[in-house]
Structure 1
Amino acid sequence: MGKGGESISDEEWERFLREAEAGSKDAPEEPSARARMVAGRLREETARPEPWRSHSPARPRRGKGWYVVGLIVAAALLVVALDPGRVAGWFAGEGGESTPLAAESERPDQPPPTEAAVRQPTLDEPFRGSPAARWGDGQAALGLPEARATGWMSKAQVAQALKESRDFLAASSLDPGVLRGERPKKAIALINPHQRDVQDFLATAFRAPSRENDPLLLFSRFEDSKVRLVGDVVKTRGRITYREGKRGAVEVTTDVTYVYPVVRAEAGSDEVVRTIVRREVVMSWDDPAKIVTEPGTFSLVSYKVDTTNGGCDTFTGYFTPEFGAERATSPSGEGPAVDPYDRSTSMDARMRESDETGCGTATRS
């Protein structure tokens, strides 16, 4: 399934449309995210189906990342004097912050443990005090399931589809240039160019981002004139699964949480905050005999995103994390407190809650 292949000519496309209108059994279908996205909506609409772009999540959560620390810190200081070893165990969490977790093989049944006291991130330790300290680094932390012949694909083709699905995650959410705000060309090249509504969305999202056309639904981007990442490591945790989809396609589902430590772009800035993004993307590797596609590309089925400290009701095309000064003056979230590291809840349930409650407050960052 290597990349390549030329787009079909206008004459071939017109022939396809004529055959499709005539009901030709051999004419492949043009892929469309519209029907797929409407089918996957979280809220049922009895009046009329809304366009697929309305599947974008409701207002991302405003991640405060502050803790009530007064009495906790006082108690912790007392215990430090009495039993410093116990406090070290608290800070390290289960197994210690330096002990990496095994790859996630299934959805956990509870959120990760919460430290008994606050450990603020630093330039040298940007993940300190966070469950992500024990997570893997970037793409290497995202294991692939064992390939087996599925749908129209052989075992080797499924293995290649899984690899290229993970490549999309890297190109869309981990690539250093994309994180600095560059256009995600490599990631876009993996999306079926004949999926016209998606291509229209992509063109609009980068030119005029809005609630309906927000590039952050699929890509992680920061405005490098305002913030910069700390170091070159993004912590990740998640799963990649697959099954046979419609018309014998191989449908790959990715559910990954990304943790981005950032500081202000100004020289000498040392206040580290974290933007946490959980993104679910479902990709369909279609049979070219049944769907108009190109070699090495997939059709988007659906995508969902939930963000902490990335901006709430801000649609600039970039994540806009808040630092101490902004947090002191910004209004509180309308929704309940949410743990952004909790992966025990499905994305459907998380998005349903977000849709109902709007911006919430993160219990930790």
Structure 2
Amino acid sequence: MSDEEWERFLRESVAGAPGAPVEPSARAREVGRRLRERPGQPEGWRSYSPGRPRRKTGWYVAGLAAVALLAVALFPQQLVGWFGDEGGQDGKPLAAESASPRQAPGAEPALRPTLAEPFRGSPAARWADGAAGVAVPEAKATGWMDTAQVEQALQQSREFMAAAGLDSRVLRGERPTQAIALLNPHQKDVQEYLRRALSSTAATPEADPLRLFSRFRPEQARLVGDVVKTRGRLTYREGKRGAVEVTADVTFVYPVTQASGNAGPDAEVIRTIVRRKVVMSWDNPAEVITEPGTMSLVSYALDMTNGGCSGPTGYFEPPFGTTEKQSADTAHQVDPYDRSKPIDTSDGTATAGNGCATATRS
């Protein structure tokens, strides 16, 4: 803007000339009319909006469906576990058990366990390894214990279950030293049971070490690999005289093969499945004679399949060579993976007058 134009602008501003109404031009009137007739954002003269193509999805969806059906027909086993199968070998690990299951795990494909894949065809394929499969609840002050003491009692309760059912030395038939160290030495009936059950004499129904400890004869069976699958949880409440009563309900799956058998791909692998329910009382030392870091046993129960059907011997005895000969019309059949039902207190070996129970799957 030149100096002359600036001075003229200042004079007109003072005089008020810019406030006078201005008649719109003919072009402005034409643009306004078009906007009123066609509301919305005007399209730029250099802009371009491609037309939307018609959707042709029918043949595409049909093609995908045909491919999926063909894949299922040709490769059914490879696809198991892709869509949330409860026990598929390729499925994701299950979340920890936080409550009692409402039903048994879903059916599995009929896949035989092998030395390379001992949990193939089993719901346990998605279970956790070892003590990690025993869920521990949040600790809260209960009875005579504060929160920290309850947390310690829960951890030691899980340690007892691991020492009794997972220790490799105990599995080979050795003395369960670590588990015994957690038992109240002043509980006379339990100490008498331990003395009789772990002696060199033959086991009896009243003094069978399998009621608490998992053991195999090393000359008969050996564990396949070093993994035992587990699933279960701990719960707790206030017990007698203010004690903290912890209940462990845990299922152990032991894949075993013959100690001196075939080590090739055709070797027989049997899964011995053991469910234990142990109730432990962490007593108030002001009320009960006990030792620090030990607990009293309230009760213990065992449910077992594929671990022997004869009288108690003190060891699990997997039925090698008989898996194909088991009768299909046995009167008593059990699903060893069904944790929705109460534990069978018959020890999973026999029923009154009906012979040995048969597992519906292993």
Same fold, TM exceeding 0.5?
Answer: yes
CA 331–315 in structure 1, closer or farther in 2 if over 3 Å, else same: farther
Counterpart of 2:262 (choices 256, 265, 268) is 268
Where 1:281 maps in the other structure, the secondary structure is strand
CA 212–287 in structure 1, closer or farther in 2 if over 3 Å, else same: same
Gaps of 5+ in 2: 1-68
Counterpart of 1:347 (choices 335, 343, 346) is 343
> Residue deviations 1:30-77, cap 9 Å, x none?
xxxxxxxxxxxxxxxxxxxxxxxxxxxxxxxxxxxxxxxxxxxxxxxx
Distance, in Å, in 1 between the alignment partners of 2:329 and 2:191 is 34
CA 89–110 in structure 1, closer or farther in 2 if over 3 Å, else same: farther
Q: Which residue of 2 aligns with 1:315?
A: 312
Instruction: Answer yes or no: is the 8 Å Cα contact 2:97–2:231 preserved in 1.
Output: yes
Where 2:207 maps in the other structure, the secondary structure is coil
Distance, in Å, in 2 between the alignment partners of 1:272 and 1:123 is 7
CA 333–94 in structure 1, closer or farther in 2 if over 3 Å, else same: closer
Counterpart of 1:180 (choices 172, 187, 195) is 172
Q: Which residue of 1 aligns with 2:39?
A: none
Distance, in Å, in 2 between the alignment partners of 1:349 and 1:178 is 23
Counterpart of 1:191 (choices 183, 186, 196) is 183
Question: Amino acid of the residue matched to residue 102 of structure 1?
Answer: A
Cα offset for 1:86?
4.7
Cα offset for 1:143?
2.1
Where 2:197 maps in the other structure, the secondary structure is helix
Cα offset for 1:354?
6.6
Question: Amino acid of the residue matched to residue 107 of structure 1?
Answer: S
Distance, in Å, in 2 between the alignment partners of 1:267 and 1:352 is 26
% same residue: 59
Aligned 1:274-353 pairs, distance under 5 A: 274-324=271-321, 326-327=322-323, 335-347=331-343
Distance, in Å, in 1 between the alignment partners of 2:121 and 2:244 is 39
Cα offset for 1:151?
0.3
Instruction: Answer yes or no: is the 8 Å Cα contact 1:333–1:360 preserved in 2.
Output: no
Q: Which residue of 2 aligns with 1:44?
A: none
Instruction: Answer yes or no: is the 8 Å Cα contact 2:88–2:121 preserved in 1.
Output: no
Q: Which residue of 1 aligns with 2:242?
A: 248
Residue 104 of structure 2 is aligned to residue 111 of structure 1:
yes
- What TM-score, normalized by structure 1, do the two folds share? 0.73
Q: Which residue of 1 aligns with 2:33?
A: none
CA 343–259 in structure 1, closer or farther in 2 if over 3 Å, else same: same
> Residue deviations 1:93-137, cap 9 Å, x none?
33742310001111111110112x410001110000000001000
Distance, in Å, in 2 between the alignment partners of 1:80 and 1:319 is 45
Counterpart of 1:83 (choices 67, 73, 77) is 73
Cα offset for 1:312?
1.5
Distance, in Å, in 2 between the alignment partners of 1:224 and 1:244 is 41
Instruction: Answer yes or no: is the 8 Å Cα contact 1:91–1:129 preserved in 2.
Output: no
Instruction: Answer yes or no: is the 8 Å Cα contact 1:263–1:272 preserved in 2.
Output: yes
Counterpart of 1:231 (choices 197, 202, 225) is 225
Question: Which stretch of the first structure deviates more once superposed, 354-363 or 226-235?
Answer: 354-363
Distance, in Å, in 1 between the alignment partners of 2:180 and 2:294 is 9
Q: Which residue of 2 aligns with 1:202?
A: 194
Cα offset for 1:346?
1.5
Residue 134 of structure 2 is aligned to residue 142 of structure 1:
yes
Where 2:198 maps in the other structure, the secondary structure is helix
Cα offset for 1:275?
0.2
CA 216–351 in structure 1, closer or farther in 2 if over 3 Å, else same: closer
Residue 90 of structure 2 is aligned to residue 100 of structure 1:
no
Question: Amino acid of the residue matched to residue 291 of structure 2?
Answer: E
Cα offset for 1:347?
1.7
Question: Amino acid of the residue matched to residue 99 of structure 2?
Answer: E
Instruction: Answer yes or no: is the 8 Å Cα contact 1:228–1:262 preserved in 2.
Output: yes
Count of residue pairs the alignment pairs up: 285
Distance, in Å, in 1 between the alignment partners of 2:113 and 2:196 is 36
Where 1:198 maps in the other structure, the secondary structure is helix
Instruction: Select the structure with the greater relative contact order (CA < 8 A; seq sep ≥ 6).
Output: 1
Q: Which residue of 2 aligns with 1:359?
A: 356
Distance, in Å, in 2 between the alignment partners of 1:240 and 1:350 is 22
Residue 252 of structure 2 is aligned to residue 258 of structure 1:
yes
> Residue deviations 1:216-268, cap 9 Å, x none?
00000001111100000000001100000000000000000000000000153
Distance, in Å, in 1 between the alignment partners of 2:74 and 2:95 is 28
Gaps of 5+ in 1: 1-78
Question: Amino acid of the residue matched to residue 268 of structure 2?
Answer: E
Where 2:140 maps in the other structure, the secondary structure is coil
Aligned 1:2-17 pairs, distance under 5 A: none
Question: Amino acid of the residue matched to residue 277 of structure 2?
Answer: E
Question: Amino acid of the residue matched to residue 271 of structure 2?
Answer: R
Instruction: Answer yes or no: is the 8 Å Cα contact 1:148–1:158 preserved in 2.
Output: yes
